[in-house]
Amino acid sequence: MAVYTDVAAEDLSAFLAAYEIGELLSYKGIAEGVENSNFLMHTSRGYFILTLYEKRVAAGDLPFFIGLMEHLAKNGLTCPQPVKNRAGEALGKLAGRPAAIVTFLDGMWIRKPSAQHGAALGEALARLHLAGADFPMRRPNALSVEGWRPLFEAAQGRADRLQPGLCDTIATELAHLEQHWPRDLPQGVIHADLFPDNVFFLGDRLSGLIDFYFACTDTLAYDVAICLNAWCFEPDHSYNVTKGRALLQAYGRARELSSAERAVLPLLARGAALRFLLTRLVDWLDVPPGALVKPKDPIEYFRKLRFHQAVGTVRDYGLD
Amino acid sequence: MAVYTDVAAEDLSAFLAAYEIGELLSYKGIAEGVENSNFLMHTSRGYFILTLYEKRVAAGDLPFFIGLMEHLAKNGLTCPQPVKNRAGEALGKLAGRPAAIVTFLDGMWIRKPSAQHGAALGEALARLHLAGADFPMRRPNALSVEGWRPLFEAAQGRADRLQPGLCDTIATELAHLEQHWPRDLPQGVIHADLFPDNVFFLGDRLSGLIDFYFACTDTLAYDVAICLNAWCFEPDHSYNVTKGRALLQAYGRARELSSAERAVLPLLARGAALRFLLTRLVDWLDVPPGALVKPKDPIEYFRKLRFHQAVGTVRDYGLD
């Protein structure tokens, strides 16, 4: 749960004086996003989200995120739209932190997504990739294959506390991925964290995408692999081929996966599983005993990795 | 920061089907209240607050709280108004917990209240006491003088870790208060926790009171004493007599304090200081090292207690 920084009403009102969004009527710290402090503001002009960027987000990356949301919104994707102040700036400073205001999106995230939700997600993901194609800024993915070994080194001495043999499995997988990771697939803007809690629905209709703070320039099909992991497994860790097919087919209707992308999807899915296994593992080992925040279970992603290791071709994911 | 329980959109939509508040468009866990999980909901009919009552609130007390908010709202006090479902019930069950929906109030709480804010608070407090006069339900105050010794016993062995001599000071004060606590002053509904974060303002106008989950039947002037402690001290722990006078005079204009109430106000203020010193002390000692939630500082209330011990008459608070 987020909200790390308290903002005084007096300070927020002064900050908003530079914007043309009306008079502040209320604001509440909200439990959304795990990296930043977020507030839902009500002003005489409507509802807005205020984000204070905490230390885990590099200030130098903010123009990329803000610019990307603006670019995507202009290109027809429903996502939060940065609100500029009178000086034309979308990025300000509040409570000693970089701060931005974005428009408020209705919609709710689905705890148990169906194949239909997965199809909507697949289409939105392809549209995100297409809309991002002419975005001029670049941001390397710090959590792609080059970033995994440092995470492993931070965790390896303690990984077996979670499950005996975990350390060896990761070491072998990491070496394999480092050797075989594809370098020549189509690249572009990827969301890189499009889990169900970042995708809003109104009924069965996808109403918007949020939380672009892992977005970066990377292999587009890797983003598909991240979503396969995040959307197509059941709570018992089994892969649901109906959901996978729905997601992949819907993606393909908007942006066709090349044969090269299809061939390497199982490898990308292993990489995506390892990436979340590693970050969850580090978070898990870093949380002090007795803390009120319960970190996400790394073993969920260990099981997904095991599944992808046994996959032969993209047919196993539901694509013909 | 609150939000202990996650609620699935699917479950919330099903829950709302029993209400006539329109279609659910969005909801966010909000950081408000420390005892319960709160969500700000947007429906096609407007904005509402959903509260899930966590374990620290006794289910048997909920009809008192809900009934009180309803009673006060009917009597012209701006506070959250419980929303009933089609069966006429204001209390339901969601995610395994008692749950209630109340109307959303605009306004913000003031981090650095002025004398003007204090005067608005004093008037609202008196109006709350008057509006509660004919509320038929009763709820004993578990955190009045009878409740302090058990708290002290839970903390006394470790109290001196915070400040040497703290344990002795509390023991002496507690014995004094138990012996001299007044029993014959006017009683009625008190809020019992009317700190600045439970009082909303729009500009300098008080726009509503929230969080009635410590409300109970007790000595009215004790509620005044709680507010003197919560509103009239500066960050350096000094008492601001201008703020105290503004609060007490505004209260008196709406509900005059009797000479008996005025005479015993210093003693009630000592009791109020001890009550928050004790609950903060217990919370402080209970938080595991390394936890992300920082408990409130008990020493702040130790300093306030020291101030009140030196007070002679109500003149020292700013009243003539």
Sign of CA dihedral A12, A18, A21, A25: positive
Please, which contacts does B158-167 make with residues 24 or more away whose CB atoms are closer than 8 Å?
A: B158/B285, B159/B281, B159/B285, B161/B285, B162/B281, B162/B284, B162/B298, B162/B299, B163/B299, B163/B302, B166/B281, B166/B302
Q: What is the mean pLDDT of residues A83-108?
A: 94
Contact between chains at B293 and A292 (C-beta distance less than 8 A): yes
- Picking from A12, A28, A200, the nearest residue to B30 by CB comes out as A28
CA B320, B201, B191, B175 torsion-angle sign: negative
Rounded mean pLDDT of chain A? Answer: 93
Record the pTM: 0.87
- ipTM of predicted complex: 0.84
Q: Which residue in the set A12, A29, A292 is minimally distant from B292, CB to CB?
A: A292
A:B CB pairs within 8 Å: 95
| Tokens representing residue A174 in the block | 């990491």
Quote the minimal CA–CA distance from A245 to chain B in Å: 24
| Chain A residues near residue B25 by CB distance under 8 angstroms | 106-107, 202
Nearest CA in chain A to B43: A106
Phi/psi of residue B166, nearest 5 degrees: -60, -40
State the DSSP code for B233: B
Q: Please, where are the H alpha helices in chain B?
A: 9-16, 62-74, 115-131, 145-159, 166-180, 220-231, 241-254, 259-286, 298-309
| Residue A15 contacts residue A66 (beta carbons within 8 Å) | no
What digits encode the pLDDT tens for the residues B126-158? 999 999 999 999 999 999 999 999 999 999 998
Residue B114: strand, helix, or coil: coil
Section A11-16 average pLDDT? 94
Structure confidence by residue, pLDDT tens digits, A165-174: 999 999 999 9
Domains of chain B in sequence order: 9-103 (3.30.200.20), 115-317 (3.90.1200.10)
How close A31 gets to chain B, by Cα (Å)?
5
Q: Average of pLDDT values for B255-272?
A: 97
Residue with more model confidence, A202 or B288: A202
Please tell me the distance in Å from A267's CA to the nearest CA on chain B: 33
CA distances from B262 to B206, B221, B248, B256 (A): 25, 8, 10, 10
Provide the CB-side half-sphere exposure for A237 (13 A, CA).
13
Searching chain A, which residue's CA lies closest to the CA of residue B286? Answer: A290
Pairwise CA distance, residues B76 & A80, whole Å: 39
pLDDT for position B41: 96
Taking an 8 Å cut-off on Cβ atoms, the answer to whether B30 and A40 are in contact is: yes
pLDDT grade for A1, boundaries at 50, 70 and 90: very low
